[in-house]
Structure 1
Amino acid sequence: MLKINDINVFYGAIHAIKGASLEVNEGEIVTLIGANGAGKSTILRTISGLLKPKGGSIEFEGRDIAGLPAHEIVKCGISQVPEGRRIFAEMTVLENLELGAFTRKDKDGIKEDMEMVFNRFPRLKERISQLAGTLSGGEQQMLAMGRALMSRPRLLLLDEPSMGLAPLLIKEIFAIIQDINKAGTTVLLVEQNANMALSIAHRAYVLETGRITLSGDAKELAASEDVRKAYLGG
């Protein structure tokens, strides 16, 4: 579904991603793990059109999307839940969700998806007219996920969904990610909590200072001594 081939990404003179290649097949949860500053978020931001790669290609369902503007990439069927949630604090829960569907014109489909989001996140329905900035961290994460789902993506990019959340909420969020995947959405997950990420992913890539150094079956990587020492606390 997604094929990234030999991309290089720069922030000014800083070479952040160095010849990275990875694939995500339809129906999978693929996770990208690595230390802080390894370039995980940079890869997601490049896929979703917020950064432009220098060289290499990014193919989604056979189409090269590298360099397309972000709103066009949403129209292609890719949606991102950004790191730090980035909800619109001064808008209500409902307005945030409506903005998630900004590329769509199918009113009936939007209504249907709004119901789906409320079924998946009942707390959002209870707070439908509340300002998003007044929600708890966990509720804001649910809103960011709900907003991304409103574009009806075929590929969902998740950037650090567990950041700043209590352990119980992290379990809940990861269970929801699995549900979203089982309902037919392919997931590319960037996550600092490597244990949790590897426990739900089918495959994984390890990123070190902008280079992909390991890839394979998530369970095999979770059992690897090198990965355990570096990312799983021994």
Structure 2
Amino acid sequence: MASDARDDVVLRVDGLSGGYGAIQVLFGIDLTVRRGETVALCGPNGVGKSTLVRMVSGLNRPTAGTVVLNGRDITGVPGARRAKLGMSTVIGQQAFGSLSVRDNLRMHCYPVPGHEEKPDTAVDGALAVFPRLRARADQPASTLSGGERQMLVLAKTLIQRPDLLLIDEFSLGLAPVVVGGLLELIRRLAAVGVATLLIEQSVNVAMSVADRLLFMEHGTIIAEHTPAELRASPDLARRLVLGGHAQ
């Protein structure tokens, strides 16, 4: 585990283990994400990526290890409280389908310490980032396309002003042009200091936005590489994403 001596570590995970009932999925995960850094979790299905995000977000409790956010141990903090501590989680494309896009966003305008912005101002600011959502602001969320629903859940995070953004299955099922726009948003968030941990099946997509890529296999992190290292060794990237423990 890298030293936490610098004060720019937003997320620190030490020795995280656990799973579902008697089935252990994670085995001693260590990782850090620093302010303004984007880290991608890669690897084949079933290696524990989503379970890791669920444990970091508080949706599942670990059996061992700690989760530290901005220097505070939040391992025992319920998931619902973590948003007010600076963590925002995007899992799937959840939305209240019968409510309008605007009302979906208004539901996320609960007070966040240091960001007591008026609801209408916060919603208008989020919609300004996504012109396609602004054009559909008064439509039911159920009428949105898959890409627009992903925009909606990311727009919610803009309202919450997180220090840490967790994203599960970032580009799954989305058209390349939509993915490109969402990647640009992640870059903009990083530029203002937001730390992001994302799950991404496509190594090419991950390399286009992440500062570091972590590869998982059998509930452990087996390798860490920068995009430059992977571009210089395409065979290495292929072995890692297929679940081969490259030496």
Fold similarity call, TM over 0.5:
yes
Match of 2:236 in 1: 226
More deviation, 103-112/127-136: 103-112
Alpha-carbon RMSD across the aligned residues, in angstroms, is 1.8
The unaligned stretches of length 5 or more in structure 2 are 1-9, 243-247
Q: What does 1:28-177 align with in structure 2 at a 5 Å threshold?
A: 28-82=37-91, 84-104=92-112, 108-177=117-186
Encode CA deviations 1:18-64: one digit per residue, 9 max, x unaligned: 11110001110111111111111111111111011111111111100
Deviation at 1:126, TM superposition (A): 1.1
The separation in 1 between residues aligned to 2:144 and 2:194, in whole angstroms, is: 26
Relative distance call for 1:187 and 1:110 in structure 2 (3 A) is farther
Letter in 2 for 1:100: H
The separation in 1 between residues aligned to 2:83 and 2:117, in whole angstroms, is: 19
The separation in 2 between residues aligned to 1:143 and 1:55, in whole angstroms, is: 34
Letter in 1 for 2:94: R
The separation in 1 between residues aligned to 2:136 and 2:211, in whole angstroms, is: 34
Match of 2:7 in 1: none
The separation in 1 between residues aligned to 2:53 and 2:111, in whole angstroms, is: 20
Secondary structure of 1:100's partner?
Answer: coil
Please say if residues 28 and 220 of structure 2, whose CA atoms lie closer than 8 Å, have aligned partners that are also in contact: yes
Please say if residues 100 and 149 of structure 1, whose CA atoms lie closer than 8 Å, have aligned partners that are also in contact: no
Deviation at 1:125, TM superposition (A): 1.2
Q: Does 1:25 align with 2:25?
A: no
User: Size of the alignment, in residue pairs?
Assistant: 231
Deviation at 1:217, TM superposition (A): 2.3
Please say if residues 106 and 120 of structure 2, whose CA atoms lie closer than 8 Å, have aligned partners that are also in contact: no
The separation in 2 between residues aligned to 1:109 and 1:34, in whole angstroms, is: 41
The separation in 1 between residues aligned to 2:184 and 2:84, in whole angstroms, is: 27
TM-score, normalised with respect to structure 1 = 0.92
The separation in 1 between residues aligned to 2:189 and 2:220, in whole angstroms, is: 29
The separation in 2 between residues aligned to 1:140 and 1:29, in whole angstroms, is: 22
The separation in 1 between residues aligned to 2:232 and 2:168, in whole angstroms, is: 24
The separation in 2 between residues aligned to 1:14 and 1:103, in whole angstroms, is: 38
Deviation at 1:89, TM superposition (A): 1.5
Identity %: 39
The separation in 2 between residues aligned to 1:126 and 1:173, in whole angstroms, is: 17
Please say if residues 41 and 213 of structure 2, whose CA atoms lie closer than 8 Å, have aligned partners that are also in contact: yes
More deviation, 54-63/166-175: 166-175
